[in-house]
Amino acid sequence: MGVESALEKSNRGGHLWIFFEKPALARDCRIYVYHTALRLGVPIKGAGLPEGIEIFPRQDEVRHDEFGNAIRAPLGVHRGARDSRGKRFWFYGADYTLPEQLAYLCQIRKVSEQQLANFVAGKSLPEEFVQHAKRDEPPRRYFSSPANEFRILDYVQVRRQCGRNWIARCPSCAEANKDTSGDNLAISVEEPRKYICWAGCTKEMIRQALGRPIPQKRSA
């Protein structure tokens, strides 16, 4: 289809990036990628499939009170999972130095507005991947989880629901006399095990502040 992409390393498989000449509508990008994956027979995670590729952006749009997905930009330093924290993942198409990598990304042909319009003409997002509006709901507890499992909702008071996240005071920020507005901590409504402090506190810091430090892995 005349589209160039860049394959980036990752702890699990890789990330395939497609770049555009100008900012494009998330909805159009999603339609293009979903239809391309389906045409190639690539399994897509979701819609009943526990495994497959993950496609970003995950939403067609976000309201003014919602957050989109936080992702690490190309060549950014990973600040997420412990196994990856502090790492920079390189693209396969160039030597592993920043100048060579940046030069490689700059020379990749970007998708134009007209190309994208041609790709999505007459198409819509497959129904199984359409995200329907969700009602606000109270925080759910992990009734079926093991008794010794750490559950962030057992330790914080949810102030409100903001789109797909519950909002609460960050325990680590509070310990440092910060987060006076009490809204630095975001907890996923769909997967409450996922939470993040927008001020930069790590999960280790949050767990330590709650008196439930993350157990250290024992070496064999």
Question: Tens digits of per-residue pLDDT, 93-117?
Answer: 999 999 999 999 999 999 999 999 9
Predicted confidence at residue 36, as pLDDT, reads 92
Task: Compute the C-alpha angle 118/102/18, nearest 5°.
Answer: 20
Secondary structure tally for the chain: helices H, strands E: 5, 6
Note whether residue 10 is domain-resident: yes
Note whether residue 134 is domain-resident: no
Query: What's the predicted TM-score (pTM) here?
Result: 0.59
Phi, psi of 101 (to 5 degrees): -65, -45
**Calpha distance 218→1 (Å, rounded):** 49
User: Do residues 25 and 114 share a domain?
Assistant: yes
3-state percent breakdown (helix, strand, coil) of the chain, nearest 5: 25, 15, 60
Of the pLDDT bands very low, low, confident and very high (cuts 50, 70, 90), residue 87 is confident
197: domain range?
A: 152-209
- Structure-token pair, residue 81: 């999972």
Overall number of domains in the chain: 2
DSSP state for residue 216 in the 8-state scheme: P
Note whether residue 14 is domain-resident: yes
Question: Tens digits of per-residue pLDDT, 16-71?
Answer: 999 999 999 999 999 999 999 989 998 887 666 667 888 888 888 877 766 777 77
- Give a three-class secondary structure readout of 109-144: CCECHHHHHHHHCCCCCCHHHCCCCCCCCCCCCCCC
Q: Which residue has the higher pLDDT, 123 or 51?
A: 123
Task: Reply yes or no on whether the pLDDT at 211 is more than 50.
Answer: yes
Predicted confidence at residue 50, as pLDDT, reads 67
Note whether residue 104 is domain-resident: yes
Predicted confidence at residue 164, as pLDDT, reads 76
Of the pLDDT bands very low, low, confident and very high (cuts 50, 70, 90), residue 131 is low
Predicted confidence at residue 143, as pLDDT, reads 46
Note whether residue 97 is domain-resident: yes
Predicted confidence at residue 77, as pLDDT, reads 84
